[in-house]
Structure 1
């Protein structure tokens, strides 16, 4: 029986690049800088919102989603990120987020990310946002 391949370790520089990428999301998305979303998401990237089941596939769909939020975009804060490199070269990211809504209420949850290396650098290929409070629907 062959053991599973061990994921490669991330270098300190790669770790910093990925942490910067995850921080950049809040600055770009919250400010509605749709032109800069390609610095965060891969061209084929996606966002899935576990609470509603909404899914946005591809960079243009993410840009449209961001434009629709407009002034109602939450103010995101990304915290406590754990990065796990996979044997295929992708990196799994799990981060906590706090989101302050325009009415001042706060909710939080987890970002579950698949991060890939592209010719332009690290990018999010898939992001699943899973709320914790207010409580998510059962099983999410």
Structure 2
């Protein structure tokens, strides 16, 4: 594994992760296109659900309704694999409607598109409630 992305790329990726919470938690279909690649994937290891493609991600965000968790993304680190694949690992906090907190890790693969960086694949792995996991 090589070192992380350039400082400019890292800043763009941080902005991308900040946009995720705003877009996803508000089910903003247009903003989700600024976060996920057209063929992007969200994988939820807690439930085994997988949403492939921007349209399915939009429906997933919309169908959560007003009682969905409010997401915070933090402590993100980025790496570049030998083959040039850019990856990120972020902690997340999700505040549930009853005020309790759920947390875990996002394991992301990013892709650079003509419109900027996008999430190509997001694997969400909860920490609490505790679940064993391994990075692929």
- Same-fold call, TM cutoff 0.5: yes
Residues 111, 130 of structure 1: 8 Å contact kept: yes
Secondary structure (helix, strand or coil) at the match of 1:79 reads strand
1:41 equivalent among 11, 33, 36? 36
Is residue 16 of structure 2 the alignment partner of residue 14 of structure 1?
no
Distance 2:102 2:4 in 1: 33
Q: Identify if the C-alpha distance between structure 1 residues 25 and 139 changes in structure 2 by more than 3 Å, giving closer, same or farther.
A: closer
Is residue 117 of structure 2 the alignment partner of residue 122 of structure 1?
yes
Instruction: Specify the structure having the higher radius of gyration (Cα).
Output: 1
Is residue 130 of structure 2 the alignment partner of residue 135 of structure 1?
yes
Unaligned runs of 5+ in 1: 1-5
Residues 3, 79 of structure 2: 8 Å contact kept: no
Q: Kindly report the root-mean-square deviation, in angstroms, between the aligned alpha carbons of the 2 structures.
A: 1.5
Which stretches of structure 1, 4 residues or longer, exceed 3 Å deviation after superposition? 6-9
2:20 equivalent among 25, 38, 45? 25
Distance 1:139 1:126 in 2: 17
Is residue 80 of structure 2 the alignment partner of residue 85 of structure 1?
yes
The C-alpha deviation readout for 1:51-79, integer Å capped at 9, x for no partner, is 00000000000001011002022111111
- TM-score, length of structure 2 as denominator length: 0.92
Matched residue pairs, number? 134
The C-alpha deviation readout for 1:66-101, integer Å capped at 9, x for no partner, is 110020221111111110012333211000000001
- TM-score, length of structure 1 as denominator length: 0.89
Unaligned runs of 5+ in 2: none
1:60 equivalent among 55, 68, 72? 55
> Map of 1:67-106 to 2, 5 A cutoff?
67-106=62-101
The C-alpha deviation readout for 1:2-22, integer Å capped at 9, x for no partner, is xxxx64652211110001101
